[in-house]
Amino acid sequence: MRISFLLLLLPAANSGHLPPRSTMQPCKTLLFFFHDILYNGNNFHNATSAIVAAPAWGNRTKLAPLMHFGDVVVFDDPMTLDGDLRSPVIGRAQGLYLYDRKEVFTAWLAFSLVLNSTDHRGTITLAGADMLMNRRRDVPVVGGTGDFFMARGVATLMTDAIEDEVYFRLRVDLKLYECY
Ligand SMILES: *[C@@H]1O[C@H](CO)[C@@H](O)[C@H](O)[C@H]1NC(C)=O
Ligand SMILES: *[C@@H]1O[C@H](CO)[C@@H](O)[C@H](O)[C@H]1NC(C)=O
Ligand SMILES: *[C@@H]1O[C@H](CO)[C@@H](O)[C@H](O)[C@H]1NC(C)=O
């Protein structure tokens, strides 16, 4: 079953417009870090994200048991060029993540990198599954505006630091394969 399915797919893949994936080179690469401080009931002034929906067995000040399944978090996180939270903020990562499996730690992301510096002006939108147990996770870049007009590619995410359930730092390696 699986083999015949593959055979059916192969001719279609070869007649497409894209070169084989292994030979594709990104037209733009960017590296950012973003910093997420989750509201925990007593860090209102520092928090950059908040649980906005929780399952019946949880609440909005503490991530739920069972891999946080059902929690929805909205965030507005500062982005820096290195891993230091005190470095200049070059943009913000804005959107939401939600935890979507009880058995395994996974999330679904939908957010934009909003950049407004002298180097970059525009937005880059990411959406897709984030297999949190893997050290490196690829998330699709589904579009962009401004300097990133019609951007498409992949963002490789790595959790660079994590402190309890309140702070995490994410390294984002962006590779765009469509640039205009
Ligand atoms: C907010 O952040 C500052 C600087 O990192 C820290 O000194 C302070 O303790 C934090 N406040 C709260 C409520 O977490
Ligand atoms: C949320 O749940 C945690 C853990 O069950 C509990 O310690 C905390 O008091 C709860 N917070 C609220 C506001 O109910
Ligand atoms: C972007 O930066 C420019 C120049 O610093 C400023 O005038 C503009 O208001 C900023 N736009 C946003 C949406 O922050």
pLDDT tens for 98-128 read 999 999 999 999 999 999 888 899 999 999 9
pLDDT of residue 2: 52
Burial degree of 5 (CB within 10 A; 0-12, 13-18, 19+): exposed
Burial degree of 87 (CB within 10 A; 0-12, 13-18, 19+): middle
Pocket test of ligand 2: the residue of 60, 62, 66, 164 to mutate, having most ligand atoms within 8 Å of its CB, is 62
Domains of the chain (ranges; CATH) run 24-178 (2.40.480.10)
pLDDT of residue 11: 47
57 pLDDT more than 50 = yes
8 pLDDT more than 50 = no
d(CA 36, CA 22): 34
pLDDT of residue 24: 87
pLDDT of residue 39: 97
Question: What is the average pLDDT across 24-30?
Answer: 94
d(CA 56, CA 59): 8
CB atoms within 10 A of CB 84: 11
- Indicate the average pLDDT of the chain: 91
Question: What is the average pLDDT across 68-86?
Answer: 95
Alpha helices in the chain (DSSP H): 2-14
**pTM for the complete prediction?**
0.85
Q: Which ligand is nearest to the CA of 120?
A: 3
d(CA 39, CA 62): 8
> Using CA positions, which residue lies closest to atom 3 of ligand 2?
62
Q: How far is the CA of 165 from the centre of ligand 2 (A)?
A: 14
Q: How far is the CA of 111 from the centre of ligand 3 (A)?
A: 20
**Residue 131's pLDDT band (cuts 50, 70, 90):** very high
d(CA 36, CA 76): 8
**Among 35, 106, 111, 37, which residue's Cα sits nearest to residue 71?**
106
- How much of the chain exceeds pLDDT 70, in percent? 90
Q: What's the maximum distance between 2 C-alpha atoms anywhere in the chain?
A: 58
31 pLDDT more than 50 = yes
